[in-house]
Amino acid sequence: MTTRINPIIIVVLGLALSRTTGAQIQRQDFLIPGGAGRLHVRQVWDYRNAKPKNLILLHGGGPGGVPSFDLPVPGYSFAEDFAKRGFRVFVMDVRGWGSSTKPREMDQPPHNSAPLVSTKEAADDIDTVVDWVVRRTHEKSSLLGWASGGHWACAYASRAPAALSALILLNTLYSVNAPWELRASMQDKENPDRFDPHAGGYRIVDRSGLLRRWDTSIPAADKTEWRDPAVADAYVSQTLATDRTP
């Protein structure tokens, strides 16, 4: 069964006050036409601020935008922190991530397809969201890209530099020889400086996989000495909630 998307429809998913006591922060979720069907965007803002500046937050290659930037745990929302400082924040999901439409190939085992979502496609999705934000607010946006999202953000900014008021990169520029645990599995064995075209369309990661790198960065056997268990639980639950895989 296929679904036809009306290009003029925007689906509003909800509106909620912040969980932080005393804060006047609001959230609203949208699905806008684009990507592989629709792109998810969450707006986070302080309604008391009459002249907010726009900021788009772009996730990396791991979880999508909400678990990366807007965990429902007091004091652990990057988006809310920016909203309190005068920004109207838009947390976006590139196609295939978070609550954005997944490419149809993701309904099949990963080895049935080549790697999905190219840098060009990610930049196309950024372009869609940037244009939607401008039409919604009549203001340009700053764009913050985290990790792989920084590379996608650079690709978009090189295409349309005048569309942004600022480009911000977080943990993005690093050496090709950086100790990245996925390098061996994604590297073309015959051309080590290129991505393996046979690596599969996507990866499946369970709860332990989501926390593995975070766990190894904490130099204590008891991870709760450094990390609030509620944060880890929210990070995992928010990530898995957007995936229909059993």
Find the CATH number of the domain harbouring 230. Answer: 3.40.50.1820
In a domain, 245, yes or no: no
pLDDT at 192: 80
Mean pLDDT in residue range 121-128: 98
Q: Are strands 141-146 and 164-170 parallel, antiparallel or unpaired?
A: parallel
Reported as a single tens digit per residue, the pLDDT across 234-245 is: 999 999 998 866
pLDDT at 184: 76
Q: 3-state DSSP helix/strand/coil percent for the chain, to nearest 5?
A: 35, 20, 45
Q: Look up the pTM and report it.
A: 0.88
Rounded to 10 deg, the angle between the 119-137 and 148-159 helix axes is: 70
pLDDT at 6: 32
In a domain, 4, yes or no: no
DSSP H helical ranges for 162-204: 183-186
Q: Identify any residues that bridge with 142 across adjacent strands, giving them in sequence order.
A: 55, 166
In a domain, 2, yes or no: no
In a domain, 234, yes or no: yes
In a domain, 112, yes or no: yes
Average pLDDT, the chain: 87
pLDDT of 9 > 80? The answer is: no
Task: Write out the residue range of the structural domain in which residue 98 sits.
Answer: 11-240
Ranking 49-58, 104-113, 194-203, 221-230 by mean pLDDT, the lowest is 194-203
- Nearest in space to 64 (alpha carbons), one of 81, 79, 80, 46: 79
pLDDT at 245: 63
Q: Which helix (H) or strand (E) holds 191?
A: none
In a domain, 5, yes or no: no
Distance CA 85, CA 88 (A): 9
Q: What total number of domains does the chain contain?
A: 1
In a domain, 93, yes or no: yes
Mean pLDDT in residue range 50-57: 95
Q: Which residues contact 207 (CB under 8 A, 6 or more apart)?
A: 236, 240
pLDDT at 175: 64
Ranking 18-27, 57-66, 117-126, 163-172 by mean pLDDT, the lowest is 18-27
In a domain, 92, yes or no: yes
pLDDT at 12: 46
